[in-house]
Amino acid sequence: MPNLIPGSTWREGLPDPIGPRSSHTVNHCIIHHSAGSNTRTDYTNVVRNIYLLHTQTNGWDDIGYNFVIAQDGSIYEGRDPQGAGDIDDIKGAHFCGKNTGTMGICLLGNYEETSPKDTVLTSLKHLLVWKCDKDNIDPLGFSRHPDASSNYLQHISGHQDGCATKCPGDSVYLRMSDLRKEVDSLLNTCSSAGMYTATSSNTYWFESRDGTITIKSDQVFESVLVYDVRGQLVDQTGLDFTGQTRDLKDLKPGYYIAQVQFKSGKHLSMRLLVSDR
């Protein structure tokens, strides 16, 4: 699961959301944009204002989305689960009253003409890959959604696929096909890598925001493969001993999947964040 800014943090000092909540099985991930400013950087205040709009102006019981992604890639918890289940499985208020079986993700900004930053798309893909893996959702598939404008709805869809709206904006909506393919590719990369769970061996993995990997283990490494969010191999290093630090500062900022291959045939696959420097 991606790192999240908790609701208890960004909602501090605001009126509490009203319950109760209901949990449901999610089949469709719905992408939105806030249609707000593309230049504001006080992201927490922007999320707070959306919450006030939804609760104080619209009269809803909470913010309508399950997640909100800021322009710097930060992911905010949305709707408060209030003990009813996982946040991604809480029924929201974002799809024109057709919320059953959906999870809402809102991208801060207006994307009718402006393209979203790579940081936004990277976090969006990360969130979608996690959700699709968690609930066995086919990113390229579609299934019935009786309340949508059509009986069938893509598992990753835009707001306008079910409502009379331009949301999430043309610059996002025209990317939907590529987004589905990239999520599917990354999901397959992660699944094929497998996970190595250390038992008696002493294996550690350290993520580093400066793009450095440090690995320590009594297992013998064969190589480290690094994939980008599209599932493309971007770095490969042969390691023929039991400990190594690898500098990846030449990579562009963003999320990557690093796969350690051991000579025993085992794999260890983990997420790596390379930040702006």
Q: What is the mean pLDDT of each run of 10 residues along the chain (277 residues)?
A: 90 94 95 96 96 95 97 94 95 92 97 93 93 93 74 91 93 96 85 37 41 58 71 66 54 72 67 61
Task: Quote the tokens at residue 30.
Answer: 């719905």
Q: Give the model's pLDDT for residue 269.
A: 66
Strands 102-107 and 67-69: parallel
Alpha-carbon span 62 to 79, nearest angstrom: 6
- Dihedral (C-alpha) 188, 208, 234, 183: value to the nearest 10 degrees? 30
Q: What is the CA radius of gyration of the chain?
A: 20
Q: Give the model's pLDDT for residue 241.
A: 44
| Residue 48 neighbours by CB under 8 Å, 6+ apart | 10, 11, 14
Q: Give the model's pLDDT for residue 226.
A: 78
Domain range list for the chain? 7-192, 194-274
Q: Give the model's pLDDT for residue 196.
A: 32
Q: What is the CATH number of domain 194-274?
A: 2.60.40.3080
pTM for the whole structure:
0.71
In the chain, beta strands by DSSP E: 28-33, 67-69, 75-77, 102-107, 142-144, 152-154, 156-158, 204-206, 212-216, 221-227, 233-238, 243-247, 254-262, 267-274
Q: Give the model's pLDDT for residue 34.
A: 97
Residue 176's SS3 state is helix
| Residue 227 neighbours by CB under 8 Å, 6+ apart | 186, 189, 233, 234, 256, 257, 258, 259
Structural fold of domain 7-192: Lysozyme-like (3.40.80)
Cα-based distances in Å from 89 to 81, 102, 244, 276: 9, 8, 40, 32
